[in-house]
A and B are shown apart, each in its own frame.
Chain A
Amino acid sequence: MAPNPRKRKVVTRATPDESVEDEELGDGLLEGILSHSEDESDDEAAASAGSSAEEDPSDDEADEESGDEPDLESDEVPSDGEEDIRRQLRNLSTAEGPLKRKTSHLTHEQEEAEAGDAEHEAEASEDDDLKPNYTVTTDAHGNTRYLYHEIDPVYESDDSDAPATANTIGNISLSYYDNYPHIGYDINGKKIMRPAKGEALDALLDSIDLPKGWTGLTDPATGKPLELTEEELDVLRKITRNEIPEEGYNPYPEMVPYFTGKLEVMPLSAAPEPKRRFVPSKHEAKRVMKIVRAIREGRIQPYKPPTVEEEEEATDFKTYDIWADEVPRPEHNMHIAAPKMPPPGYDQSYHPPPEYLPDKQEKETWRETEEEEREKEYLPTSYDALRKVPGYERFVKERFERCLDLYLAPRVRRNKLNIDPESLLPKLPSPDELRPFPTTCAAIFRGHEGRVRSVSVDPRGIFLASGGDDGFVRVWELLTGRQLWNVKLADEDAVDTVKWRPGKDAAILAAAAGEDIFLIVPFAILSPDVEQTSRDLIDAGWGYAAAKPSTTTNGATKEPPARWSRPGKRLEDKGVLVQATVRSTVKVINWHRRGEYFATVSPRGQSSAVAIHTLSKHLTQLPFRRLKGIAQSAQFHPSKPIFFVATKNSIRSYDLARQELVKILQPGAKWISSFDVHPGGDNLIVGTYDKRLLWHDLDLSTKPYKTLRYHQEAIRAVRFHQGGLPLFADASDDGSIQIFHGKVVGDLMENATIVPLKVLRGHQVKSRLGVMDVDWHPREPWCVSAGADGTCRLWN
């Protein structure tokens, strides 16, 4: 590498393109010569850093020294170091160059080379500026040939590489090499030996007279003590003072007024001075006249400061009546006047009656509650004389809050509840008016084995019929509880229902056991004429069915829905006169009001579930070919030809005369157990297995008017009083009977009043069955219940 630049140097010796060869100028001698020969740069260097000149002789020494140390002086290493340093130095010394340079890289040793280099540098750069960057030679053909200088890729040049590192150990602290003779490796992998550290004496000398550029730092790249030249220090100083490091730079040069400063001698235009320069402006005169006119006419008044009195008069006192011509204006609909503050009460007095004073506990609670949450914002206090009353410390605060309320609080008109609570309560009849109603158990009818399933009081109110699980129908004297008559209707089937025929002229009891319906005239307990009429009524129908057998359209004899027959000698002797056998088990019997018909319901029989029997003809008809749902109960309307049938969760009413559906009531119950029609015919009560008792007003809606839930268990039977008293009762499995007052007024506008009256308890609950049936006395406020405990009870 070395010979080539040397050769070129020889060639281009005349050209001052020294910068190219910089790196090759490792020789101290040459350096020294150069530095002395170049006067300009030397001056500059001397001015900026006087020390460099002084160090020149030492340069030689250092070179000699380096000769002594062959390892260190190996050709590349110093040259590399030199290049690095030169680059840095150039940056440092040229004002234009970027000032970001790492001064820490400068080491002691390089310093020596550097001084010379700096001179080369300066010289080179000056030469660059002055001379063209080529030389003209003649080529082989004799033409001129421009030999361009080789481009020196200096720091400022575009293709500046990363600075070649002298030590390749990277970013590692030098302390790791403390134990070794070397301090790292150069680019060729050779050891960079530790430079000879100053001996103890040297150190002492150093400490005695510190060199000018001594920093006390160690250059991490070289491990030598870092020293800065005077020039560098000066630059640093200037940088720290925020000054421009260049010497003699004036940031505020004096402005040279190129154009205005010159006084023109000749005018630019030769035009004569216009007339308008000598004549007063018309426009201005116009404007002035306008103002003058305004002043004359009084439109513009000269400013006169108002006197003090005037001001006060103007602000303080009203001098006219603002309401002189008042016209009342109707208040806007949506305007809500601010509510007035309420007048003070007794407890706000300065000396209230002592009972208004809070006791200790009340005081405590008042104090403990938050200010916003207090019921009263003050604590009633008593002062025994007016002079002892202190100022109210929340006064201004309260006024301020009132102000806030006045303009910030939304106002809402609230209807104050000014209702007398008494008026809300329903007008109920007084308990005295509700009387009479059954309250106590008057008689217990014992005799049945097993449950009593059904009870019925005869229309004259003398007898009570009951039927139970033991298959017996028993007739009792109502008042005494004595058993008058009984008959066993079936061995295995229970008597599900018994019902007296309405009408006082005869006494016929209908009872159902299993699929058989029996019509009974109890033997020997009735008066003879009644017994006779009863027998006549029943006997009238014999042979009717045989005479007119029901036929289907095709003429074939259809099987009749029921077979009417005589029950046999044993029963006939007891008074059981007729037996009608239907297709499935009969659960409910209900008579028509005239006693001519009765309806039976057998929930299991699908098409024959509801049957209407004609007593006088011994005829059975099935009104419904198919019924939706399981029939539960059926009843005749008390006055109209309407027939009610209850299925599992609805009640339908049919017009029998016109043979059409009138209404479907939806009680909303899951399973209807029984229902009863009010004697008036417009109201209905429904008992359900889901513990509810529903009152239906037929005129009102198909939905219940009232839903009563006072039972804990299922309701088995419901019953209106038929004899004119506004009572009804229900029987439940919880062993209680509840008596209600249910008054229906003829007036359509008024709804029925229902009042719970009494809970009758007495029946025992057996196997989760309580009261099975309930019936009213036809006239008296007595009711009879049938219990699962095998007793019947009369309540009055």
Chain B
Amino acid sequence: MGRIKKKGTSGAAKNYITRTRAVKKLQISLPDFRRLCIFKGIYPREPRNKKKVSKGSTAATTYYYTKDIQYLLHEPLLNKFREHKSVAKKIGRALGRGEVGDAKRLEKTHMPKVKLDHIIKERYPTFIDALRDLDDALSMLFLFANLPSHEHIPAKTIALCQRLTLEFEHYVITSHSLKKSFLSIKGIYYQATIQGQDILWLVPYRFVQRTAGDIDFRIMGTFIEFYTTLLGFINYRLYTSIGLVYPPKFNAKSDGDGGELSALQLEGKGIDNGDSAANGEASKAITSAEAQAEADKIAALAASGEDEEDETTVAQTEGEEENTEAIDTFETTAEDADVLPQPTASNEELASLFAPFTFYLSRETPRAPLEFLLKAFGCRRVGWDGTHGDGAFTTNESDPAITHQIVDRPALPADALPPVPAAAEPTNGDGPQPKAQWPRTTMPGRTYVQPQWVWDCLNQGKLLRPDLYAPGAELPPHLSPWVKPKKGEYDPNRPLEEQELEGEAEAFEEEDLDDAEDAEPRLITNGEMDAIVDRDSDVEAGEGMDVASDSDEEDEEDEEDEDDEFEGFNSDAESEISDGEAERRQHQRELEAEATGTTLESSVPSSKAKSAEIRKKAEKKRKLEDEERERLKMMLPRRKRKLLKRIEYGENKRDTEAENLRRKKRKLEKVKAAANAL
């Protein structure tokens, strides 16, 4: 007979370890443990059976794998932490004695430097693994690149974040790996595909971030420490993989002038120095405004000339290369052969989407994202207002080379604008060309668009009609490029009629009619209020009506629901009866008409009646389907029925969401139609 096994010596009880015990085992403090976990990527586990693990106690605890903690025991960082602790003690002692110099020396020479290189290698054995985990890293670094320094995040780290993100952006630009971008209310999402990995990151809008509340910057700082190391190695690898020198040259002066992307100058085999030359010229110190204008013009002309030449050469080389690099399309010769799918060569097109244009960014547009996007999609000549900072292709708005100007101001009538200062006029007039300045004057042949145009173009992979995005125009909705239309979900790209269920449109119609009837007299009274509130779009007008009719509408809906419930099984019978009744009446009318000898004017049933008919039919059909489904469900065993219930819960939620959206859409369409009719 074997020994009696003691409880809690094997199995789950041994496999898991609580956090307190882990900290004790590692003999470090809790903050150090936290740091270690963040660096090593160790996270708590949820035991399958908590009771077995906790030996009966049910208190909420965090559990780690014992193996994970054992693995931490061998971490060289642990020693660093201990050294750090002892040095910190010494420093504290020195400070306590008032020996500041000693403390300084200790800190400078004895403080151990934590290097995370080995951890990077350990956590990401291959480069692809690292890329896979880059989403959070980029989002964090981009955020901190825009944050002020903090007690726990020194200015040096912030500068490093800025530098690393800029480097990464440069890589994305040169490798044309940016695929999509999206303007959300949270910030700007970008998606790049690097070595087959989709990397999605979010960059906040450039405002002061709210950092109040429960935010522990020590934790964020630890993450930042890890992510900066990671992105450093990734950048090195990315740069060297496309033949660039890493680190790129950093122009401190340009950076000081707000050069951002242009503060870094890439060097390598694939980079011609045309850009950097232009940048260098632009960044030259210029004494007077006039001289600056002149110089700008010259620079712009020269640059444009160069670029045009470049373009042609590029085109030529492309033409030559076409034979070698592009994928040939394979045509099957016989009919019975299988057709293998081939990738479309749209990547090249997408990469050079904005290549032939010269952009000018107005003062009010966000320069950094636009510059990044335009450059990432092939545009090499992006100029902007001088207030935006250093590194513009041109700062002269009236440069004739500019083909597109991105403007985010409504076009106001000329008399509404303040007069141009008289002093400025003659100086500008001296130049060979009048200074074109939106919105006072527009340059002939130049396209003025709103920033959204850029995003929509690149997301759809083609140049869209710029007139839809003209300054002051009502923009088309900006849609997320990542949403894939799924069955049963509402898709704003498709017309409403395709998506509506049978009879739904009529149901909505009916509701709306009822609403309209209810709301009409009230709308007039509401008119006064609307007049006060400036309504510049139809949508808002529609909303105005909503305000009036909301409660009624709900009541109506409720009533209808109640009706539905009340009708129960008899509803179809009733509808049949009513249908029959209608028919009979029609027939009666026909008979009467015959008797009097008049031709029956085609008494088209009112749209309402018609829609009601359709709706009823659809409802009936749906009810039948439901009944059939219920019948099937009755035959399921209980376990499966529960599973089905769970699945259906999700589906129903999705369906109601979609229906809600469709209902709103229908209403909006109606309002729009009414507005158009007026």
Report A's interface with B, CB cutoff 8 A. 303, 305, 314-323, 326-329, 334, 337-338, 340-341, 343-346, 348-356, 359-361, 378, 380-381, 384-387, 389-400, 402-404, 406-412, 417, 419, 421, 424-426, 428, 431, 754-756
Cβ contact within 8 Å between B44 and A409: yes
In the complex, 8 of the A-B residue pairs with CB atoms within 8 angstroms, ordered by the A residue number, are A317-B246, A322-B121, A350-B184, A355-B492, A386-B451, A389-B205, A407-B37, A411-B46
Shortest CB distance B558–A (Å): 13
| Complex contacts, B569 vs chain A, CB 8 Å | none
Q: A326-B126, A425-B629 are in contact. Are A378 and B450 (CB under 8 A)?
A: no
| Inter-chain contacts of B147 with A (CB < 8 A) | 396
Cβ–Cβ contact A426 & B636, under 8 A? yes
Central interface residue in A351, A361, A402, by most chain B CB within 10 Å: A351
Per a CB cutoff under 8 Å, which of A321, A338, A343, A417 touches B240? Answer: A321
Using A316-B163, A396-B210 as known contacts, say yes or no to A352 and B644 having CB atoms under 8 A apart. Answer: no
Q: Would you call B205 and A391 a contact (CB within 8 A)? A: yes
The residue from B126, B215, B247, B474 contacting A384, defined by CB atoms under 8 A apart: B474
The closest CB in chain B to the CB of A386 belongs to B451
A154 to B631, CA, bound (A): 112
Across-interface contacts of B140 in A (CB, < 8 A): 399, 403
Q: A359-B664, A404-B219 are in contact. Are A395 and B186 (CB under 8 A)?
A: yes
- Taking a contact as CB atoms closer than 8 A, the residue among B65, B163, B644 that contacts A334 in the complex is B65
Contacts of B664 in A (CB 8 A): 354-355, 359
Please measure, in the bound complex, the distance between the C-alpha atom of A426 and the C-alpha atom of B633, giving whole angstroms.
8
CA distance A633 to B147 in the complex (A): 88
Contact of A348 with B185 in the complex, beta carbons under 8 Å: yes
**Which residues from A are CB-within-8-Å of B200?**
340-341, 343
Which residues in B have their C-beta under 8 angstroms from that of A319?
236
- Whether A326 contacts B477 in the complex (CB less than 8 A), given A392-B186, A395-B143, A417-B647, comes out as no
Within 8 A of A (CB), among B530-572: 537, 539, 543, 546-547, 550, 554
Closest Cβ of chain B to A304, distance in Å, is 10
Which B residues touch A352, using CB under 8 A? 477-479
A346 touches B492 (CB 8 A): yes
Task: Kindly identify, within residues 166 to 194 of chain B, every residue whose CB is under 8 Å from any CB belonging to chain A.
Answer: 182-187, 189, 191
Mask of B97-118 contacts with A, CB within 8 angstroms, 1/0: 0000000000011000100010
Q: Which one of B127-135, B281-289, B386-394, B510-518 is at the interface?
A: B127-135
The answer to whether A391 touches B482, judged by C-beta atoms less than 8 angstroms apart, is: no
Instruction: Provide the bound-state CA to CA distance between A404 and B455, in Å.
Output: 32
* Other-chain contact of A392, B205, B223, B235, B644 (Cβ < 8 Å): B205
Query: Are A351's CB and B220's CB within 8 A?
Result: no
| CB proximity of B657 to chain A, nearest CB, Å | 10
Chain B contacts of A421 at CB under 8 A? Answer: 644, 647-648, 651
Option from B237, B648, B650 in Cβ contact (under 8 Å) with A323: B237
- The answer to whether B643 and A419 have CB atoms under 8 Å apart is yes
Instruction: Give chain B's interface residues, CB within 8 Å of chain A.
Output: 34, 37-38, 42-46, 62-63, 65, 108-109, 113, 117, 120-121, 124-127, 130, 132-133, 135-136, 139-140, 143, 147, 160, 163, 182-187, 189, 191, 200, 202, 204-205, 207-211, 213-216, 219-220, 223, 229, 232-233, 235-237, 240, 246-247, 364-366, 408-410, 450-452, 474-475, 477-480, 482-483, 490, 492, 537, 539, 543, 546-547, 550, 554, 628-629, 631-636, 640, 643-644, 646-648, 650-651, 661-662, 664-665, 668
Residues of A within 8 Å of B483, CB to CB, are: 343, 345-346
Return chain B residues, CB-CB under 8 Å to A425.
629, 632-633, 636, 644
B654 CB → nearest A CB, Å: 12
Q: What number of residue pairs across chains A and B have CB atoms under 8 A from each other?
A: 264
CB–CB A348/B213 < 8 A: no
Q: Which B residues are CB-close (under 8 A) to A354?
A: 477, 539, 664-665, 668
Q: How far is the CA of A404 from the CA of B44 in the complex (A)?
A: 12
Further contacts, 4 of them, CB under 8 A, given A316-B163, A318-B229, A344-B189: A341-B200, A355-B661, A385-B410, A399-B143
- Shortest C-beta distance, A320 to chain B (Å), equals 7
Given contacts A385-B450, A395-B186, A424-B636, is CB(A318)–CB(B65) below 8 Å?
A: no
B138, chain A: closest CB distance, angstroms? 11
Most chain B CB neighbours (cut-off 10 Å) among A315, A390, A404, A407: A407
A402 CB, min distance to chain B CBs, angstroms = 7
- Which one, A321, A343, A353, A387, contacts B189 given CB within 8 A? A343
Residues of B within 8 A of A409 (CB): 43-44
